[in-house]
Amino acid sequence: MAINKGLIGGSTPLLLLSLLESQDCYGYEIIKILEERSDNTFSFKEGTLYPVLHKLENEGYIRSYYKESDGRKRRYYTITKKGVKQLAEEKAQWERFSFAVNKVIGGEVNAIA
Amino acid sequence: MTRLKKTIRNLVIIVVLLFLFMKLNGLYFSPVQALHASERDLHFGPSEIVHSFDHGNSRYFLTRYEGMISCSPIKRSLGVFWRYGAGHGVPNNEDRPVFTSYRSEGNNWIVYGMRNDSSIARVDIEVKNAEGEIQVYSSDTFYEDMFYIIWQGENESEVLFSQIFAGLKAYDDAGSVIYDSEIIL
Amino acid sequence: MPSPKRQESSSTRESIKKVVKRVHFIPDRYEIEQELAGHIEDSVLFLQEEEGLSQQEAEKAALERMGDPDEIGIALNRQHNPVLGYIWYFSRIVLVLLCVIVVLQFIPVLLLSGWTILFEHPIRDIPKEAYVRHVEPNELIKLDNRRIRITDVVQTKDGTLHVLYSSYNLSFSGLHGWSFNNLGELKDEDGEIYFTGSGRSTAGLYTRGRRSIKDFPFDKEKLILEYDYAGRCFKVEIPLGKVAYND
């Protein structure tokens, strides 16, 4: 099941920050990891990643730097301290959100999950 | 650091540097500030500005302070600023119906003064030009009894005022001469 | 290792140009172009290797995967605000310029003032053997923004009276202006004014100077510095003590 959207709505920052928390990545790498980890659930127009990355950088949650590998200079992104805090916030928000949704659609059993 | 933070940081540093730059070069945002600052360091003033006028790249201030008069030019600098410069005045000599002094810079000559006799309506200055001819410059406008006469003449580095000065005459409104003098200072 | 030649065809270049055309802050365009070009290159390589597409097919597919250039460009433009961009851009230039100018102008003043504070001591020019009187009044003269401290008064065998002082200006006009060290009139306790002599002082933020007057009588016991002009005045009285006759 492929969710085909321009951006994966408001949870894109959450996904990106979470990826970057474990390792620094460059743009194309992020797309590949997202596809792989989500078993291709997340597949969207690749170019739309960059406005989100640049926004996160403007907000100070991630920082970019250039590194050369295989003879090519690539723009890598790394998470900042502020970004780590923001990630924790967004995770908490996501959990509250999905918990509430589950409660509404699933009834008692799912609410405990 | 985000671009916004960097910009703010830059602007703050620019303000500090600008302040230093102005201090290092004696610059002020207003000519009156520059005038009073110059006066203060000359241990004069702050004088009362009676009239000001622009001439060339400077603004001249006709001022009064403690029985002294001055005509101080403050030069414009870099378009936006005004530079610390002249400031001191000369004591008025009330024994004379008209008291004058002069200033020169390049080819600009100014005679300024105070009428101690209020019946005076016009002051004429006679100067010799390069060909030896006498030219008359006059003023019939008084700003609280102060006046100025400005003209373009020879370069001040090439000639002394005493060499070109030929005479001073003051008239009342009927046109009769009240004061005629060969000395100006 | 030399970087591999970027095999961009015109359609990739065209698409990227379409994207950055929407970015109104021009200085950021190059970086964005590079980032997108790199992504497309990686994508093309992957499609050729993993899915066996030809160069042309892979490029077409890669560009399709990227999405609509206009949409991407518009979204990017929102993150590259031209107002902030240009302010930042010019603030950098102005900052560097001002820094250079200020440093170039400030350093000589600092050096001069530092030198004065450390090394300029006009009193050392007067040989101690010549002293017949020496007092250290430590009196401060305040005249508008100027502060003049009379540190020493020395009289030498030849009758010359030297007044040594240090001076600074509260409005820092030593940075640019004339250094005006006015000690007023120098008199003795009977009102006699002394004119002839010499003066010497350094320039800069902090100056030290010496004013010497000739033939100050040995039997006068006070030096008075008095100023009264244009609404300002001060009067400093310095007791000189008696002359020590050593021979």
Pairwise CA distance, residues C78 & C25, whole Å:
10
Say what percent of chain C tops pLDDT 70. 94
Residue C89 is predicted with a pLDDT of: 96
Shortest Cα distance, chain C CAs vs residue A102, angstroms: 33
**Which residues, in sequence order, are bridge partners of residue B120?**
B172
Locate the domains of chain A by residue range.
Answer: 9-111
Q: C180 vs B42: CB contact, 8 Å cut-off?
A: yes
CA–centroid distance for A62 within its chain: 12
**The domain spanning residue C206 has which CATH number?**
2.60.40.1630
Q: Which of C102, C176, C232 sits opposite B17 (nearest CB)?
A: C102
- Compute the nearest-CA separation of A63 from chain B (Å): 8
Residues of A with CB under 8 A from a CB of C: 6, 26-28, 45-48, 50-51, 54-55, 58, 70-75
Identify the residue with better confidence: A84 or A9. A84
What is the pLDDT, as a whole number, of residue B88? 84
Chains in contact with B via at least 3 Cβ–Cβ pairs below 8 Å: A, C
Q: Does domain B94-185 have CATH number 2.60.40.10?
A: yes
Pair C143, C212 in one domain: yes
Looking at the domain assignment, is residue C57 inside a domain?
A: yes
Could you tell me which residues come within 8 angstroms of residue A96 by beta carbon, excluding any fewer than 6 positions away?
Answer: none
Q: Which of C92, C102, C182 should be substituted to probe chain B, the one whose Cβ sees the most B Cβ atoms within 10 Å?
A: C102
Nearest to C209 by CA among C200, C221, C196, C218: C200
Distance from CA of C199 to the nearest CA of B (A): 18
Topology classification of domain A9-111: Arc Repressor Mutant, subunit A (1.10.10)
CA angle C160, C234, C114 (to 5 degrees): 65
Instruction: Show the DSSP H helices in chain B as ranges.
Output: 3-25, 31-41, 161-164
Q: Kindly list the residues from chain C whose CB atom is less than 8 angstroms away from the CB atom of residue A26.
A: 38
Q: What is the pLDDT of residues A42-75, one digit of tens each?
A: 667 899 999 999 999 999 999 999 998 877 899 9
Domain that residue C232 falls in: 120-239
Do residues A65 and A79 lie in contact, with contact meaning Cβ atoms separated by under 8 Å? no
Q: What six digits make up the tokens of C2?
A: 């030399």
How many domains in chain C?
2
Chains sharing 3 or more CB pairs under 8 A with chain A: B, C
3-state secondary structure of A109: helix
Q: What is the pLDDT of residue C179?
A: 63
SS3 content of chain B, % helix, strand, coil (to 5): 20, 45, 35
Chain C stretch 71-100, residues whose beta carbon is closer than 8 A to a beta carbon of chain A = 71-72, 75-76, 78-80
Name chain A contacts of B5, Cβ cutoff 8 Å: 60
- Are C29 and C138 found together in one domain? no
Inform me whether the C-beta atom of residue C31 falls under 8 Å from chain A C-beta atoms. Answer: yes
Chain B: nearest CA to C51, how far in angstroms? 40
Distance between A71 CA and the closest CA of chain C, angstroms: 5
The answer to whether A60 and B4 have CB atoms below 8 angstroms apart is: no
Q: What is the DSSP string of A29-95?
A: HHHHHHHHHTTTSB---GGGHHHHHHHHHHTTSEEEEEEEETTEEEEEEEE-HHHHHHHHHHHHHHH
ipTM attached to this prediction:
0.83
The model's pLDDT over C3-21, given as tens digits with 9 standing for 90+, comes to: 444 455 788 999 999 999 9
Task: Give domain status of residue C91, yes or no.
Answer: no
Q: Could you tell me the pTM of the whole model?
A: 0.79
CB contact under 8 A, B3 and A58: yes
Together in a domain, C75 and C157: no
Question: What is the total residue count of chain B?
Answer: 185
User: Does C73 reside within a domain?
Assistant: yes
In C98-194, beta strands by DSSP E: 131-135, 139-143, 146-156, 161-169, 185-188, 193-194
Cα distance between residue C87 and residue C85, in whole Å: 6
Q: Which of A32, A46, A64 to mutate to test the interface with C (most CBs of C within 10 A)?
A: A46
What is the reported pLDDT for B157?
A: 83
Q: Do the strands C232-239 and C222-229 form a parallel or antiparallel pair, or are they unpaired?
A: antiparallel
Q: What angle do CA A6, A7, A9 make, to 5 degrees?
A: 130
Q: Do A59 and B2 touch (CB under 8 A)?
A: yes
Residues C185 and C137 placed together within one structural domain of the fold: yes
Residue B72, Cβ neighbours under 10 Å: how many? 28
Residue C188 lies in a domain: yes
Q: Which residues contact B117 (CB under 8 A, 6 or more apart)?
A: B97, B98, B170, B178, B179
- In this structure, is residue C86 part of a structural domain? no
- A45 closest CB neighbour out of C2, C43, C67: C67
Local confidence band at A1 (pLDDT 50, 70, 90 cut-offs): very low
Residue C79: band (very low, low, confident or very high) from pLDDT cuts 50, 70, 90: very high
> Which residues in chain A have their CB less than 8 angstroms from residue B3's CB?
58
- Note the pLDDT tens digit of each residue in C94-141: 999 999 999 999 898 889 889 888 998 999 999 999 999 999 999 999
- What are the residue ranges in chain B where pLDDT is below 70? 184-185
For residue A112, pLDDT over 80 is answered with no
Helix (H) or strand (E) run with residue C5 in it:
none
Domain boundaries, chain B: 26-91, 94-185
